[in-house]
Structure 1
């Protein structure tokens, strides 16, 4: 018998049922930005003030940066510590969809902005001190952190740091503007909710194998990191939203999602903010159901392949027991 150098993945021999269920959920949710009629939002776009247009551009520039980081470095950092071959397959899917997310923002730019405006957006993104600081904090952990620390950084990025940007399109959606732009964001949120839950679950498997002393040290590190990221995120939100008067609402939304990130990781919430404290318009928008879109008649404002249920609060508790 020949020596085995490489083993074929066998989806009929599942070691962790969560791998299979996550794969199925992610593949059912598959979507592409090219199927969403962004040009239908141009009439709404023209009604926005110059400040609002600038804010939207910068928000999406920041989101592009974070999705680029996640697709290029984040998933690879986690891949070194897989428990099953099926987990690697799920991570491959996650990595591809992060690239789809990053490209989707460019589709929005090409629809709404001129080339000069796009160049200005990326110049702002690539030189903004708060954006660059949070990217550096997360990427440094990806490069030098332990396997568990890398998972924490990934969950914080996907379940917390994205949401200072997500707030803007959700707010416009709640006011019946930019519906197709918001549809892309809702699709991205739907993906990120699964990514954060899954990677948080994998973190919990490793965390539960630590000694009590090691767990205490890890929890201290996690809370300290969250404080550092939140302090920076407050400044980022103030820069983006002070002139529009939205900053305090955004901070509530950030704290709510920071708690969600901690729940994904099996820890207790840090902030007192709950869903009841978030603007109900935003909470309505964050529900990850999407509108059906007819490819041929261009009727509707969304794109949904298959029938997919949104993640619920209870889904964040996956693996905690």
Structure 2
């Protein structure tokens, strides 16, 4: 198996064809013609991503500002820890997706990854906006320290960080594939204990502004995960020498380890949170892992969790299907700019 180091794609190379000869490690002029790409349906992906555009400071947080001081001490503590987790993940994802795009010789992939990286940056900025709405600057800064000081959270992120940092040091087809696999875990699994916490608050009519923000992030992540799974399958089709039992076993092992770490984290951060059943949460994590494995093209490994065991969360996370009838419309919480309402700036 050849595992040569990849060079960053040239910005413009007119001697090469416009249609790339490969997704990574191929030849391309660098000129993007959406009507002449190897995977034409990715234009629809690009358009869906653009259609999801939103900005954090256009979401009304006024009720959250009033409600946060009335949350229990446990709820406030968990709120800050979960925000720190999400910020840690999206900070690393912004950089990793951007780096991946620099090695994409297919300019359509580079453009899609550029949009994804931009959206991850918006997500990360939204966490700062959320905290600035509800706590002092000192507490905001303390919350962001949790991502690098909390031992359980560091353990939870260790394997992800090792793979992402290895890709920085050595860009090969194999390291790109492994980084993309970890991206699917990040987008499709690692966020969900945190998402569940905010959705649980929302169903109790608490911190609905925060939950609305998380819903938009969730919608983006589902779209990101879908594309990254398709990209993994396409890279493996172009490089069948990597489509081996060894690589498949590696993927299964990473998923199992990620599930165990996510369950450990959820039991730590969500313990004693009213309204969340930790056993149900563990089942939901396994259900999400099965779903992501199917999207990559592999078989489920948690056969007792083929269905979502956390019924109440379905309205928040299972209704994003690319249509106009989704959670936001059903709950009458459509995206509205606070500049047109009595937003945070007017408090």
Q: If the TM-score is normalised by the length of the shorter chain, which range does it land in?
A: 0.7 to 0.9
Decide whether aligned partners of structure 1 residues 294 and 127 sit closer, same or farther in structure 2, where only a CA change above 3 A counts.
Answer: closer
Note the 1:73-92 alignment, pairs <5 A.
74-79=96-101, 81-82=103-104, 84-92=106-114
Change (3 A) 1:33 1:268: same
Rounded Cα–Cα distance in structure 1 between residues aligned with 2:60 and 2:128: 14
- TM-score w.r.t. the length of structure 1 is 0.84
- Matches of 2:131 and 2:205 in 1, distance apart? 20
Task: Indicate the residue corresponding to 1:108 in structure 2.
Answer: 130
Show the 5 A alignment for 1:24-39: 24-39=47-62
> How far did residue 77 of structure 1 move?
4.5
**How do 1:1-321 and structure 2 match up within 5 A?**
4=14, 7-72=30-95, 74-79=96-101, 81-82=103-104, 84-142=106-164, 143-144=166-167, 146-209=175-238, 214-244=243-273, 246=276, 247-271=278-302, 272-278=304-310, 280-286=311-317, 287-288=319-320, 289=326, 290=328, 291-295=333-337, 297-298=340-341
Tell me the SS of whatever aligns to 1:277. Answer: coil
Q: Quick check: 1:130–1:232 contact (8 Å CA) kept in 2? A: no
Is contact 2:101-2:110 (8 Å) kept? yes
Q: Which runs of 5+ in 2 are unaligned?
A: 1-12, 16-28, 168-173, 321-325
Q: Is the 8 A contact 2:30 2:107 kept in 1?
A: no
| Residues 1:7 and 1:46: Cα distance change in structure 2 (over 3 Å) | closer
CA contact (8 A) 1:151 1:203 kept: yes
Structure 1: any 5+ residue segments left out of the alignment?
Answer: 301-321
Please give the alpha-carbon distance, in whole angstroms, between the structure 2 residues aligned to 1:125 and 1:236. 13
Q: Which has the higher contact order (CA 8 A, sep 6+)?
A: 1
Change (3 A) 1:76 1:276: closer
After superposition, the CA RMSD in angstroms is 2.3
Q: How many residues align?
A: 296
Per the normalisation by structure 2, the TM-score is 0.78
Report SS of the residue matched to 2:32: coil
Q: SS at 1:208's partner residue?
A: helix
Any idea what the Cα deviations from partners look like across 1:235-274, whole Å, max 9, x if unmatched? 2112112232632232222112112221221111222224
User: How many Å separate the matches in 1 of 2:279 and 2:138?
Assistant: 31
Contact 1:109 1:118 (C-alpha < 8 Å) held by counterparts: yes
After superposition, give the CA deviation of every residue in 1:20-66 in whole Å (9 maximum; x if it has no partner).
01110000111110110112223332331011111011111100000
